[in-house]
Amino acid sequence: MAIVSSAQILNAHILVVDDVEANVTLMERLLLDAGYTSVSSTRNPEEVCELQRRHRFSLIILDLQMPGMDGFQVLEALKEVEDDYLPVLVLTALPAYKLRALRDGAKDFISKPFDVPEMLIRVHNMLEVRLLHEAARDHGKAQESLALTDPLTGLANRRLLVDRMAMAMVFARRDQSGMAVLYLDLDGFKAINDRLGHGAGDALLKMVAARLTAVVREEDTVARLGGDEFVIVLRLSGGADAGQVASKIIESVAQPYDIEGDDVRVTVSAGVGVYPDHGGDPEALLKSADLALYEAKRAGKNVYRIAS
């Protein structure tokens, strides 16, 4: 993972919280002079939680002794707002407050009157830890997304597809509703790929993915299994019919595509498997739909067939 750069640290968003105007002005000037570009402040501790909700500061520099709502109460309130790692650097002139502040969630402290170079080093170090934490979290989310989605189209991959199918089957049994899968394969995609190149082929696959997503509802799942094969999981209710959806998809995919000025046309064949008639588990239902797709290809393509 990349190391956090100095520019990232200096551009991080900092909030200064102190009820004394002179203290706020001094801290802002010291931070700006040190090169920090995004420094905000408030003299009202009751605003801190709402400000954090809106702006997601990377560091809060918090005075502990304030009238009305003191720094300890702010620390407690922030626990309800920020479930991630939030560095709070507390300022206090009372040594007895240090341990209590650390127990209450502060990550570090500065004793008043503070030494400026020491304060700046503590700010720098805490921001570096915060940004490294964010990078690790974002990296983990990216890896998780890659494990469940097709990197080209962003659609669900086979792993996520099987999970969504199993979930749809649970809902179908519970609600006594319907569920079906459409197994799709583009007709003549290889010829287009060979003629226009892989870049155009990838662009076409992404356009097809967008059309498939537009035809179905939000609660349905569109997946790409690789190559030019797609699967759609349909949750059927209120008399909805998988064949009607398949017809809409065939019509939508057949509309022309503009790829770098070329008028590209492709069709799709579909096999339909209905739960539980054609399979009681995801793999069995996928197999039935795949066999139905084979029948659609034999029937001349650009059509759908329902599993027998």
Total count of residues recorded for the chain: 308
The catalytic residue positions are 228
Place of tokens 């795949």: 290
- Helix (H) or strand (E) holding 145, with range, is helix 116-148
Helix, coil or strand: residue 4 = coil
| Residue 192: both structure tokens together | 């287009």
Helix, coil or strand: residue 112 = coil
- Which residues of the chain form beta strands (DSSP E)? 13-17, 38-42, 59-63, 88-92, 108-111, 178-187, 221-226, 229-236, 257-259, 262-264, 267-275, 304-306
**Phi, psi dihedral angles at 16 (to 5 degrees):** -105, 130
Q: Check the CA dihedral 136-138-144-149 and report its sign.
A: negative
